[in-house]
Amino acid sequence: MTGLTMFLLAWLVAAAAVPAQPAARTRDLQRLMVQAYRYYTGFGVPRSRARALKLYLRAAELGDAEAQFIVAGMYYRGLGTDKNRREAFKWFLRAAQNGRFTAESLTIIGAMYLRGTGVPQNYMEAKKWLELAVKNGGVAAMNDLAFIYYNGLTGKKDFKQALALYREAALQGDIQAQYNVGLMYANGIGAPVDTVRAYAWYSLAASQGNTTASIARNGLMPAMSWQDLTRAQALSVRLYQEVERNREKRAEQEKGAGGGQDITAP
């Protein structure tokens, strides 16, 4: 069975499972989605992302969540149009409100609310969407949500929660989070001062090219005993191994899912 045939079958089955839509509207959506897919992929017609976007946009305006999600991704990546983060945000939000999202799209919504990019800054909305992204495995969302807790942007500061989130992102391989964890242990923020752990996390980040972490790690060394330095270096190796296992696990999961989810793919 070809990829296009599988797509058409899946789409027809999905459409048939939504009785709330009038039959004529369902047929219109089916036609738009199939035509858009053909132009997106160039299957049987000259490939045209611009034409595909117009068709997906019409389906999105009719309320189709999958089309809304694809339109958002195309605006976000600049496929068939210039990049437009404001339009991307609008359609990612509509798609999410209609139940179509990924961890990445939820992170984009939360991050744009957090930074006030393309939408008025709103920390409470940012926290809401970032929390949902974290529940769906969004590593970048962990960093942004930790930043909210660290700075108390939605109320009282919560350093313990910030540290927990940074640590989880760090174990998933985020270099900045690894530095942040080292910084918090070095300064006793969210946990008692722990030079051994601080050194280990700094060292892990430094090994991946974070020069600030390298400087911070080296700054700890003069005050450390030989025993503590040995423990810290052993811990950094264990952390490195855990991060690598997590990366391999994600790679296997993405392989099993057909290469992972692409926010621009129809």
DSSP 8-class letter at 208: T
Identify the domain containing residue 198 by its residue range. Answer: 159-259
**For residue 145, is it within any domain?**
no
The verdict on residue 179 lying in a domain is: yes
Residues 245-251: contacts with CB under 8 Å, at least 24 apart: 246/171, 246/172, 246/173, 247/172, 247/173, 250/172
Instruction: Tell me, yes or no, whether 125 lies in a domain.
Output: no
What global pTM score does this model have?
A: 0.84
Residue 140 in any domain: the answer is: no
Residue 62 resides in a domain: no
Q: Digits of tens for pLDDT over the chain (266 positions)?
A: 444 334 333 443 344 344 445 666 688 899 999 999 999 999 999 999 999 999 999 999 999 999 999 999 999 999 999 999 999 999 999 999 999 999 999 999 999 999 999 899 999 999 999 999 999 999 999 999 999 999 999 999 999 999 999 999 999 999 999 999 999 999 999 999 999 999 999 999 999 999 999 999 999 999 999 999 999 999 999 999 999 999 999 888 877 765 555 666 66
Identify whether 170 is part of a domain: yes
Q: Is 85 inside any structural domain?
A: no
106 in a structural domain: no
Query: How many domains is the chain partitioned into structurally?
Result: 1
